Structure 1
Amino acid sequence: MSEMNQQKLKLENKIRHQHKKFTRLTFFVMSLFYFHSSYAETNVQDQTACPQRPSILTNRWQENWDVLKNSCVVKKTGDQFKYIPFKENSYISLGANIRERFELNNSAKFGTAKNSNDQYLIQRLQMHVDARLAEQWQIFAQFIDARAYDKNTVGSTDQNRFDLEQAFIAWQHSLNNGTFKFRVGRQEMAFDLQRFISNREGPNVRQAFDGVWADYEYQDWRFLGYMTRPVQIDMAGTLNDFSDHDLRFSGFRIDKQNVLGGELSGYYSRYVRNHATFPSVSGNEVRDLYDLRHMGSKNNLDWDVEAMLQYGDIADQSIQAWALSAITAYHLKDQPYSPKLAVQIDAASGDKNPHDGKLNTFNQLFANGSYFTLAGYSGYSNLIHIKPSITIQPNDQLTLMAALGLQWRQTTQDAIYFQGNSSMPNTAGQGSKWTGKYLQLRADQKVNSNLSMAVEAVHYDVGKTILNAGGKDANYLGVEMKYGW
């Protein structure tokens, strides 16, 4: 048998293996759906004055299951583990998540990565214990087991074998007509639309921080501060994720409601990363971050605008960088399917001159890896991005979205960037500003309060700069099922 036929047979066997695995996954998740749909419900009566069951949230520690102490709340099988009272105003709640996603990507990093043509299954299992003590104390622990099956290149955002994702103690207390909150331990942080500070929900492994968080809320005001060391993923074993002095992130933030029809917020943070590397310089990086954001709505229009400045030093160079993002949407609520027309504009600075003693490349920090698309082709550095989109809702459970993305570099002197501040070789100082365009299609289906499904397809048509650097057009398909208990 020729070498070409052997490779073809190997690929066909791999695809059949993935198909069998995905079929088993579908059967498993549908079994969960059937089991949940067959839950016995009791105490069905007038619910007008009765508290609602909590929704399954992305941040599970924010759920409050003490509503189950009310006899009027509809009960489901398994609720004896969602609310375990052990003394007055105290209870323990158990929970779990499973997310399975099949991904096909024929050109990871536009084909410049090794074995870039890939199809694989990523799986994320999470289990947590939430203890509430006397309405003031909370002890929360969450474990994660994230796996990537048959993926050619596995990174720290793909796989994290059984490890501690979160473990913190929180306390809150009334203070001067406001509320003071405090958390210490391993925890997740996410600001606003998670452009720059996120819990990294899109990829398989989420981002956590070891540190302290303090928060005071008074009327329309909110003041908070944080001192953290971001958690680094060690894929080699179990229960071995760590944080150290090589990466630190701390700061404070102020929010004010009811400003120009919405919320105005601003924060200052210091970001420190030792052994940082950019195309023009390497060394210990220190950045001071200044962020300002306003979000609001009026009639059928809503908006979210955010800007960040970064100043600091790396090696013998100074840092001066910036980013700007805006999303504006108009809702046609009185039309069939309630269409929403939106325009997203993003811009982030690149290094204007690699020899002038200044680094202008914007640091993506802890950005949401799926902020542009789930495919994650582009990073938030040296970028100009315009994305018109339309979203419709045929019913309350189904959402459909189509978008067209157009991308340029902010400067041709700097490289094209991927996720995680990594740059594409042979693009700095080469070619034109035009990077390429992409088409994104996405469907989200909520099956019930616990189970949801999503499908996303992306086709990226690259420009000549990427073609000349050895890249090529890219296609992505993601099929996801997510269950939370």
Structure 2
Amino acid sequence: MNLPMSYHKNDVLKNSGLHLKFFYSGLVLMSSMFCFKSAYAETVTSSTCPDRPNILTNRWQENWDVLKMPCVPKKTGDGLKYIPFVTKSYLSLGANVRERFEINNHAKFGTAHNPADSYLIQRLQLHADARIGDHLQIFTQLIDSRAFNKKNISATDQNRLDLEQAFIAWVSPLNNGTFKFRVGRQEMAFDLQRFISNREGPNVRQSFDGIWSAYEYDEWRFLGYLTRPVQVEKNDTFNDHSKSNLTFNGFRIDKQNVLGGELSGYYSRYKRDNATFPNASGHEIRDLYDVRHMGKKNNIDWDIEAMLQYGDIGEQSIHAWAISSITGYSFTDPWSTRLGLQLDAASGDKNPQDSKLNTFNQLFANGSYFTLAGYTGYSNMIHVKPSVTIKPTDKLTFLSALGFQWRETTKDAIYFQGNSSMSKTAGQGSRWTGMYLQLRADQKINSNLSVAAEAVHYQVGDTIKDAGGKNANYLGLELKYGW
């Protein structure tokens, strides 16, 4: 079976790339001209036949050259999934469609003059994946995200036709290991995407312009990245950009088979101009130190991560932290029942009058890490979430969960997504924020089509009520198709 140029088995770090407009124009043209055959193909004997590739969230990881084999079942449209060009090269075209109808009666708990709303968000993606020879890949993806009838449209809701990804990748053996390199505009995410994500939940995904390089040897992986996060201009086409006023650079090390799982750690420097928090503003520089361990033994699984943040903002120093864990126990019953417990905590500012800012920066967090409703963010909070997941069939999953939230300190505000704070909450009220009920169902129709539904009810505490907030309800109905 031919394998794609994929990451390490637990690798969720996506590509990053440099944003040069003339360079991207060339990539789009080249993607329609060239092709690639994945490196490191396994020998396929006459008694075995590879499966068709799965449709992945990251389409650049798919490898469609298995379609050259007569034994692989063919479908309508396969003539565009595998277009051989020259020896060891091919071009693959693909598309994604995601439609989600949402009802949200009190976004931001009604404190930001957000009226009850029902609307459709739509994401369309088209890509061309060129594999050239044994080592080279050129990938280009366009995105068009729209929000129809939504009363308050943000940059995470809408991004009219633009370049989502455009990168060149190289993979080759080196000293008994594997060298990987990528340059261009691409997405990047770490681990469970608590802090660094491709933002799959919201309608507009997060891209990065820069370079990314890795070396994998035995159970080790070493990587580095120099990026500028892409900033979205929601109302015009082909105008998303990255600038020196927002950068994210660092390096990371992963090691397999440590205490029964994978141990990873990374250092990054985050820089942003004109940052604003309730108790500080100015040029922000944060040095990030992150460590994570994940694994599974018998029926127990776990994923634990912690981050420290140090730096400066304006005239103040930064001292902030966050810690998170998701653990579960899976039964061997026919429905594969799993009992889960999620614990999260992130620091808030202890004293508005001192020279230190303790508010944790959410960075590029997944907006749907708690729920699709995304009512609260990952700053100044304590979060406890027990859950039950069952799978009546291989294609159907149900999840039910209760979430409980407090502030880490009452001196700081309650926070929404993107480091924005709720007015009239800093220094006011109690630590209790509120609780929510989450119900979700996922059904896979076939290898291309899936549907999902999620409902959330958030019961706010007195602090939010005193600030003008109300209980909130969310319903999302989603259809997703990939070709």
Q: Is the partner of 2:60 in helix, strand or coil? A: helix
Q: Is the partner of 2:268 in helix, strand or coil? A: strand
| Structure 2 CA distance for partners of 1:47 and 1:404, relative to 1, 3 Å | farther
Match of 1:274 in 2: 273
Where structure 1 has 5 or more consecutive residues not aligned to the other structure, the ranges are 1-45
1:40-99 CA-to-partner distances (Å, cap 9, x unmatched) read xxxxxx997111111111110010111111111111110010000111110000000000
Q: Is the partner of 1:373 in helix, strand or coil? A: coil
Match of 2:404 in 1: 406
Match of 2:440 in 1: 442
Query: Which of 460, 463, 466 is residue 464 of structure 2 equivalent to?
Result: 466
Answering whether residue 426 of structure 2 is matched by residue 428 of structure 1, we say: yes
1:293-344 CA-to-partner distances (Å, cap 9, x unmatched) read 00000000000000000000000000000000000000002x1311100000
Answering whether residue 147 of structure 2 is matched by residue 158 of structure 1, we say: no
1:147-201 CA-to-partner distances (Å, cap 9, x unmatched) read 0000000000000000000000011111000000000010000100000000000
Q: Distance in 2 between matches of 1:474 and 1:135?
A: 53
Query: Which of 342, 359, 362 is residue 361 of structure 1 equivalent to?
Result: 359
Q: Which amino acid aligns with 2:434?
A: G
Q: Following superposition of structure 1 onto structure 2, how do residues 242-261 of structure 1 map, counting pairs within 5 Å?
A: 242-261=241-260
Match of 2:349 in 1: 351
1:113-155 CA-to-partner distances (Å, cap 9, x unmatched) read 2233100000000000000000200000000000000000000
Q: How many residues align?
A: 439
Q: Which amino acid aligns with 1:395?
A: T
Match of 2:27 in 1: none
Answering whether residue 262 of structure 2 is matched by residue 240 of structure 1, we say: no
Q: Distance in 2 between matches of 1:431 and 1:341?
A: 33
| Preserved contact between residue 458 and residue 476 of structure 1 (Cα < 8 Å) | yes
Match of 2:93 in 1: 94
Q: Which amino acid aligns with 1:452?
A: S
Match of 1:480 in 2: 478
Q: Is the partner of 1:50 in helix, strand or coil? A: coil
Alignment TM-score, normalising by the size of structure 1: 0.90
Q: Is the partner of 1:240 in helix, strand or coil? A: coil
Q: Is the partner of 2:79 in helix, strand or coil? A: helix
Q: Distance in 1 between matches of 2:453 and 2:350?
A: 39
Q: Is the partner of 1:197 in helix, strand or coil? A: coil
Answering whether residue 223 of structure 2 is matched by residue 219 of structure 1, we say: no
Q: Is the partner of 2:85 in helix, strand or coil? A: strand
Where structure 2 has 5 or more consecutive residues not aligned to the other structure, the ranges are 1-44
| Preserved contact between residue 47 and residue 72 of structure 1 (Cα < 8 Å) | no
Match of 1:374 in 2: 372
Q: Distance in 2 between matches of 1:116 and 1:371?
A: 24
| Preserved contact between residue 96 and residue 125 of structure 1 (Cα < 8 Å) | yes
Match of 1:264 in 2: 263
Answering whether residue 305 of structure 2 is matched by residue 306 of structure 1, we say: yes
Match of 2:38 in 1: none
Whichever structure has more helix as a proportion of its residues is: 1
Tell me the percent identity: 73
Q: Following superposition of structure 1 onto structure 2, how do residues 377-392 of structure 1 map, counting pairs within 5 Å?
A: 377-392=375-390
Q: Distance in 1 between matches of 2:341 and 2:274?
A: 37
Q: Distance in 1 between matches of 2:384 and 2:115?
A: 26
In angstroms, what is the RMSD of aligned CA positions? 1.0
Q: Is the partner of 1:364 in helix, strand or coil? A: coil
1:442-467 CA-to-partner distances (Å, cap 9, x unmatched) read 00000000000000000000000000
1:381-407 CA-to-partner distances (Å, cap 9, x unmatched) read 001000000000011110000000000
1:232-288 CA-to-partner distances (Å, cap 9, x unmatched) read 001231000000011000000000001111100000000001000000111000000
* Higher RCO (CA < 8 A, seq sep 6+): 2
